[in-house]
């Protein structure tokens, strides 16, 4: 069982979902005086949650024969760290240069979706 076993990335996805909900709640209730920080946190939480769910979808893809879906979680979860993490950091006062990391996370998300589309070609076309 390697680092990117299904169990490990599903555990990381569940943790990511927890963080996304917690950050979204904090954006709504803990950052009331700073609309920019609220928006950064909301955006990071939304993309983080969306891509943790996409990671769980990879397990379903694999169940129906799309074995290549096992490669997508690495892109989705690294995108969560880079994209959402950089937005969270900016919301809490990180230097502006941290924002240069955000598009790298976005590219990682896109790569994950491209891999998932490629994996879908392995599903039985019933």
Reported as a single tens digit per residue, the pLDDT across 9-43 is: 889 999 999 999 999 999 988 888 889 999 999 99
Average pLDDT of the chain is 92
Q: Tally Cβ neighbours within 10 Å of residue 81.
A: 15
Under the banding of pLDDT at 50, 70 and 90, the label for residue 85 is very high
C-alpha of 39 from chain center: 17
Query: What are the helix (H) ranges across the chain?
Result: 6-29, 35-63, 72-79, 85-91, 102-120
Nearest of 69, 49, 50, 47 to residue 60 by alpha carbon: 69
Q: What pLDDT is stored for residue 2 in this prediction?
A: 65
Judge whether residue 1 has pLDDT over 80: no
Reported as a single tens digit per residue, the pLDDT across 39-71 is: 999 999 999 999 999 999 998 888 888 889 999
Judge whether residue 126 has pLDDT over 80: no
Q: What pLDDT is stored for residue 4 in this prediction?
A: 67
Is the pLDDT higher at 114 or at 5?
A: 114
Q: Please report, rounded to a whole number, the percentage of residues in the chain having pLDDT higher than 90.
A: 74
């Amino acid at each position: 069982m390697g680092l990117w076993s299904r169990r490990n990335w599903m555990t990381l996805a569940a943790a990511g979902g927890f963080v996304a909900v917690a950050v979204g709640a904090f954006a709504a209730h803990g950052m009331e005086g700073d609309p920019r920080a609220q928006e950064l946190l909301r955006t990071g939480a939304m993309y983080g949650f969306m891509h943790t769910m996409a990671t769980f979808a990879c397990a379903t893809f694999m169940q129906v024969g799309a074995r290549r879906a096992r490669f997508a979680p690495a892109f989705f979860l690294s995108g969560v760290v880079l994209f959402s993490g950089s937005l969270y950091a900016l919301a809490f006062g990180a230097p502006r240069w941290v924002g240069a990391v955000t598009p790298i996370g976005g590219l990682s998300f896109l790569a994950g979706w491209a891999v998932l589309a490629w994996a879908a070609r392995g599903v039985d076309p019933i």
